[in-house]
């Protein structure tokens, strides 16, 4: 029997008195139900028929000839064309940088956003490191929309982009993202093949060179949190890490977008120890969640990854932090499990709007730092 964990990521992380979201195949659900009844576990069935909900998520239109839209989930070919187009249409504000290729040899482009001028601070932001978390790439696209549409009109956005650059990677895990559209909606890892195993894919957010392969990263290729054969074994991780290493003197903050569970997390994930600037990070995260709540009243939790969710190693925000990027945050976007990864398209706009406030809050904080 196969049980796929949605939250937490693996069975290892289940602790007493907490909620767990998981998927069980139709052939086995009666056994699972009986076991839960016998053990007096409270449960709720969220999806009676997951396939129906997967189809419903796309708001009824599967018309792949449709244009790119900021309020719909876009297939990779649309995002890829959009990346080229938005840079071409906004040459004074946006440029496209090739940072490497994926396992399946697709080019990875990031978008540099900001008014070109001498030495500037920068924020690196990536979306879509986990394939099935579709709301995450939606946010990176939304960010570009807001930046290009409000620069020169909105004073704060103009200030931010005059004085700071954003490096935005719209989809970190392109191969996995495509797989989640074409083969398995709930795919998480990348698509690299592994010698001596028939299982495919590495969890890119366990593949960074920080406490690699120690806590909660699986060495088993078939697991959802398989950390790869070595740190930075994956071309996607290597591309991002290489770019960040080259830009370390300018990158002051790192933001990485995931879903779901509504949280803003900061280092460490691999240890319960507090970072040097723990109190400061906690204050920034608190300000960011307050900004989010101010719009639609959505509550996000905040805290260190290890204490708020569970310890894990090889994660991108711990790695950037230890490279010297002292403002590193992991966002977990909507929702809290009602739809999970299948967040309806009607929630793309409000989610992006509230997260935009948090990102601007952090950007303003970085902008006002004196050093
Ligand atoms: Zn994730």
Q: What percentage of the chain carries pLDDT values higher than 90?
A: 78
**Angle in degrees, 0-180, between the axes of helices 135-150 and 155-163, rounded to the nearest 10:** 100
The pLDDT-based confidence of 155 (bands split at 50, 70, 90) is very high
Query: Using an 8 Å Cβ cutoff, are 63 and 78 in contact?
Result: no
Q: What is the pLDDT of residue 184?
A: 95
CA of 88 to the centre of ligand 1 (A): 30
Whether residue 168 is predicted with pLDDT greater than 70 in this model: the reply is: yes
61 has pLDDT over 70 = no
Residues 230 and 328: their CA atoms lie apart, in Å, by 23
Distance CA 83, CA 68 (A): 11
pTM for this structure?
0.93
Q: Is the pLDDT of residue 44 over 90?
A: no
Domain ranges of the chain: 3-45, 76-367
Q: What is the mean pLDDT of the segment spanning 65-90?
A: 95
Q: How many angstroms separate the Cα of 203 from the Cα of each of 241, 258, 269?
A: 15, 13, 15
Tell me how far CA of residue 231 lies from CA of 206, 273, 316, in angstroms: 8, 22, 11
Predicted pLDDT at 64 = 54
Average pLDDT, the chain: 93
> What are 98's two structure tokens?
């090739």
Give tens-digit pLDDT for 275-285. Answer: 999 999 999 99
- Ligand 1 centroid from CA 155, angstroms: 33
The pLDDT value given to residue 39: 87
Q: How many A from CA of 136 to the centre of ligand 1?
A: 9
Give pLDDT, residue 259.
97
- What is residue 313's predicted lDDT score, i.e. its pLDDT? 95
**CA–CA dist 278, 328 (Å, integer):** 11
| Cα-based distances in Å from 53 to 32, 189, 221, 342 | 21, 22, 29, 7
Residue linked to tokens 């986990």: 130
Is pLDDT at 50 greater than 80 in this prediction? yes
DSSP designation for 152: T
Q: Cis before residue 260, ω within 30 degrees of 0?
A: yes
Q: Cα-atom radius of gyration of the chain, to the nearest Å? A: 20
128 CA distance to ligand 1 centroid (A)? 8
Phi, psi of 281 (to 5 degrees): -60, -40
Instruction: Specify the pLDDT at position 62.
Output: 56
pLDDT one-digit tens code per residue, 228-269: 999 999 999 999 999 999 999 999 999 999 999 999 999 999
Least confident of 21-25, 49-53, 283-287: 49-53
293-328 pLDDT per residue, tens: 999 999 999 999 999 988 999 999 999 999 999 999
The CATH classification of domain 76-367, taken from the options 3.40.1260.10, 1.10.150.240, 3.40.630.10, 3.40.50.1400: 3.40.630.10
**Residue 290 binned pLDDT confidence (cut-offs 50, 70, 90):** very high
CA distances 265 to 14, 234, 337, Å, are 19, 24, 18
Active-site pick, 133, 332, 345, 347: 332
List, in sequence order, every beta strand (DSSP E) within 106-223: 107-113, 121-127, 164-169
Distance from the alpha carbon of residue 37 to the mean position of ligand 1, in angstroms = 31
C-beta of residue 331 within 8 angstroms of C-beta of residue 123: no
CA distance 122 to 115: 12
pLDDT category at 106 given cuts 50, 70, 90 is: very high
Note the pLDDT of residue 65. 63
Instruction: Decide if 332 is catalytic.
Output: yes
Task: For residue range 131-150, list pLDDT tens digits in order.
Answer: 999 999 999 999 999 999 99
């Amino acid at each position: 029997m196969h049980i796929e964990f949605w939250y937490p990521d693996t069975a290892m992380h289940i602790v007493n008195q907490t909620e767990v979201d998981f998927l069980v195949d139709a052939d086995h659900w009666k056994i699972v139900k009986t076991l839960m009844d016998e053990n007096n576990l409270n449960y709720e069935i969220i999806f009676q028929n997951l396939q129906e909900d997967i189809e419903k998520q796309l708001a009824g239109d599967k018309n792949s000839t449709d244009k790119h839209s900021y309020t719909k989930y876009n297939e990779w070919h649309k995002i890829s064309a959009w990346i080229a187009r938005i840079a071409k249409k906004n040459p004074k504000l946006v440029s496209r940088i090739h940072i490497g290729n994926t396992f399946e040899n697709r080019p990875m482009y990031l978008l540099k956003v900001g008014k070109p001028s001498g030495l500037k601070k920068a924020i690196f932001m990536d979306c879509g490191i986990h394939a099935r978390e579709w709301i995450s790439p939606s946010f990176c696209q939304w960010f570009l929309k807001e930046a290009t549409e409000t620069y020169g009109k909105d004073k704060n956005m103009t200030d931010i982009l005059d004085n700071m650059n954003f490096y935005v990677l719209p989809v970190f895990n392109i191969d996995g993202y495509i797989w989640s559209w074409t083969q398995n909606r709930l795919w998480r890892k990348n698509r690299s093949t592994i010698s001596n195993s028939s299982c495919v894919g590495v969890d890119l957010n366990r593949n960074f060179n920080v406490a690699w392969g120690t806590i909660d990263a699986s060495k088993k290729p078939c697991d959802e949190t398989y950390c790869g054969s070595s740190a930075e074994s994956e071309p996607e991780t290597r591309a991002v890490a290489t770019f960040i290493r080259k830009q370390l003197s300018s990158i002051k903050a790192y933001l990485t977008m995931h879903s779901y569970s509504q949280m803003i997390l900061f280092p460490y994930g691999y240890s319960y120890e507090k970072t040097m600037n723990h109190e400061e990070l906690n204050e920034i995260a608190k300000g960011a969640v307050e900004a989010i709540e101010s719009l639609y009243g959505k509550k996000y939790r905040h805290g260190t990854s290890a204490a708020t969710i569970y310890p894990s190693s090889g994660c991108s925000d711990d790695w950037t932090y230890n490279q010297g990027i002292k403002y590193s945050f992991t966002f977990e976007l909507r929702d809290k499990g009602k739809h999970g990864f299948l967040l309806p398209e009607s929630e793309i706009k409000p989610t992006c709007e509230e997260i935009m406030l948090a990102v601007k809050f952090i950007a303003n904080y970085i902008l006002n730092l004196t050093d």
